[in-house]
């Protein structure tokens, strides 16, 4: 009876407060949690209730304001911070064994002599081969604080006994420049996968290298780049623009208009510039491509970008969790806000890319309709551009599905192509590197023979993907290029992969064409 009286008194106090005074939103939530704690029929998890409430509140704001629990914060930030702490390997779980696909350059594993193709069979004395580990299981075992140690036993082809390594964990860089190479004499290619802490420095290093190889024109590939840090996008755009040009400005209810201008020094202010974007290019990628387009500095090729024009700022909560809260919109130099509408809710927002596909936008530029009220002009040549829905490229390249088939999709979806490539390079690494000492030699002379291709088909049959003659006719060429690209990646790195796979990339092909013909002159794109 006393307990009931106490609960009743607490509830009365809560209700009295709400009846006699203006209760703030935060006090309402606190009062409700107290009611649940003392009066709810069953026990409750207060922390989970609070987190669910936070998520619900943010969901009602916009699609990009998110809650991050304290336990996930470090892992969530790693791709943007550009480093993590661990042993420094890229791996794949192949035939239920952890196979090293590449030691990360400069990491502790590479320094100890761990090689591509090595198989980790024990971690700290515990067997990890044939026990059905997941990627997350491996992360938990091999990642750890800098300075801590982990012991691994490695099986290496040609060695009679296991090799034991004591690895001291360290900070491991995560690179955001996936590839940088000379596409053709005079034309360089740089692909950036994200805008992280190290992105601009990586870009500058790649730019210096390519200039040293005679580069006068550049293809900057931002396709598939989902964004990252605003400041890094501004710094990258600055590399292409002359002094005192607006790159972007931001503005929000509690954040006054702030303009970001280019500085006096840029690494590639002269020369032909092509930027590749697609429907997955978002946020920071759109800042860069929007600034370049608005100043008529370069040619934008590809498909309409994602359309994320909202700026998030992280706020830390008392328990170590965080909220990435949208605080402003960003605008291109011409005044465009390229954020797409989210008024119909998250579900409709999430369906946008699917709807683009259904409506035919990914195949034809004619399917894209812009409201004339969102019409703007570029700063120099006064070309028409539009806001309210991403960056529309100057040259549209539709999605090419002529070489796609269900057979090819099944080989990828069931990891047949990937696993076969990994197995082949693992079994033939020494011979391949002797015959093709570098990626240039590999690109020029390596061919997927009919015999090797038949091995792939047979491997697929073992994995449950039946031979499909029609699919082979449609996708045979594409599969051979994809297989060659995977070989190159497993032998060297992602740079080598892109050098091969770009052979069947229509964005890349169109960029090379535009750099050779009169497109720049016709569209009044600045080259100096």
The residues assigned a catalytic role are 283, 294, 308
| Whether 278 contacts 362, CB under 8 Å | no
* Cα-trace Rg, the chain: 27
Cα(394)–Cα(300) distance, rounded to whole angstroms?
Answer: 5
Cα(512)–Cα(187) distance, rounded to whole angstroms?
Answer: 8
Cα(466)–Cα(411) distance, rounded to whole angstroms?
Answer: 10
Any residues with CB less than 8 A from the CB of 51 and at least 6 apart, and which? 67, 69, 321
Closest C-alpha among 122, 104, 126, 124 to residue 114:
104
| Whether 112 contacts 94, CB under 8 Å | no
Q: Nearest-5° angle of CA 87, CA 93, CA 99?
A: 55
C-alpha 392, offset from chain centre: 20
- The residue with tokens 């696909």 is 101
Handedness of CA 345, 347, 350, 356 (dihedral sign): negative
Cα(74)–Cα(86) distance, rounded to whole angstroms?
Answer: 13
What are the C-alpha distances in Å from 37 to residues 53, 114, 522?
A: 15, 54, 70
Closest C-alpha among 312, 284, 314, 278 to residue 195:
284
With 0-12 CB in 10 A as exposed, 13-18 as middle and 19+ as buried, what is 476?
middle
Any residues with CB less than 8 A from the CB of 12 and at least 6 apart, and which? none
Cα(386)–Cα(290) distance, rounded to whole angstroms?
Answer: 10
First-to-last C-alpha distance (Å) of the chain: 86
Cα(399)–Cα(302) distance, rounded to whole angstroms?
Answer: 9
| Whether 342 contacts 351, CB under 8 Å | no
Please tell me what DSSP assigns to residue 129.
Answer: S
Closest C-alpha among 169, 208, 3, 204 to residue 88:
169
| Whether 489 contacts 482, CB under 8 Å | no
């Amino acid at each position: 009876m006393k307990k009931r009286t106490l609960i009743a008194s607490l509830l009365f106090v809560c209700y009295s407060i709400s009846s006699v005074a203006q209760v703030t939103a935060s006090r309402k939530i606190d009062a409700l949690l107290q009611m649940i704690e003392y009066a709810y029929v069953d026990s409750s998890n207060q922390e989970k209730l609070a987190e669910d409430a936070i998520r619900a509140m943010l969901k009602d704001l916009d699609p990009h304001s998110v809650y991050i629990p304290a336990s996930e914060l470090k892992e969530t930030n790693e791709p943007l911070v550009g480093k993590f702490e661990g042993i420094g390997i890229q791996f794949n779980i192949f035939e239920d064994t952890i196979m090293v696909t590449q030691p990360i350059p400069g990491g502790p594993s590479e320094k100890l002599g761990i090689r591509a193709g090595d198989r980790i069979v024990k971690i700290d004395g515990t067997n990890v081969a044939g026990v059905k580990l997941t990627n997350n299981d491996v992360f938990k075992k091999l990642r750890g604080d800098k300075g801590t140690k982990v012991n691994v036993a490695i099986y290496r082809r040609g060695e009679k006994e296991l090799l034991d390594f004591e690895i001291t964990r360290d900070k491991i860089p995560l690179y955001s420049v996936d590839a940088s190479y000379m596409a053709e004499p005079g034309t360089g290619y740089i692909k950036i996968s994200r805008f992280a802490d190290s992105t601009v420095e990586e870009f500058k290093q790649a730019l210096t290298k390519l200039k040293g190889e005679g580069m006068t024109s550049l293809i900057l590939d931002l396709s598939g780049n989902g964004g990252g840090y605003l400041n890094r996008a501004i710094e990258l755009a600055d590399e292409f623009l002359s002094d005192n040009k607006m790159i972007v400005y931001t503005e929000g209810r509690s954040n006054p208009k702030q303009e970001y201008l280019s500085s006096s020094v840029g690494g590639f202010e002269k020369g032909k510039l092509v930027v590749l974007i697609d429907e997955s290019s978002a946020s920071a990628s759109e800042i860069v491509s929007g600034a370049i387009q608005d100043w008529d500095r370069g040619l934008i090729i590809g498909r309409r970008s994602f359309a994320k024009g909202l700026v998030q700022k992280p706020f830390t909560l008392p328990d170590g969790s965080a909220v990435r809260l949208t605080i402003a919109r960003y605008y291109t130099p011409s005044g465009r806000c390229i954020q797409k509408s989210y008024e119909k809710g998250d579900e409709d927002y999430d369906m946008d890319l699917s709807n683009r596909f259904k409506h035919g936008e990914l195949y034809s530029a004619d399917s894209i309709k812009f409201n004339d009220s969102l019409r703007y002009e570029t700063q120099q040549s006064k070309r028409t551009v539009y806001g309210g829905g991403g960056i529309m490229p100057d040259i549209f390249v539709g999605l090419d599905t002529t070489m796609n088939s269900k057979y090819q999709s099944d080989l990828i979806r069931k990891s047949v192509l990937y696993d076969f490539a990994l197995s082949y390079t693992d079994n033939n690494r020494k011979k391949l590197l002797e015959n093709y000492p570098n990626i240039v030699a590999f690109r020029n002379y390596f061919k997927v023979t009919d015999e090797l291709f038949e091995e792939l088909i047979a491997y697929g049959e073992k994995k449950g993907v039946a031979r499909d003659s029609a699919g082979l006719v449609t996708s045979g060429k594409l599969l051979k290029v994809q297989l060659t690209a995977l070989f190159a990646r497993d032998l060297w790195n992602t740079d080598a992969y892109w050098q091969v796979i770009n052979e069947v990339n229509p964005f890349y092909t169109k960029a090379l064409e535009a750099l050779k013909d009169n497109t720049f002159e016709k569209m009044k794109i600045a080259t100096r």
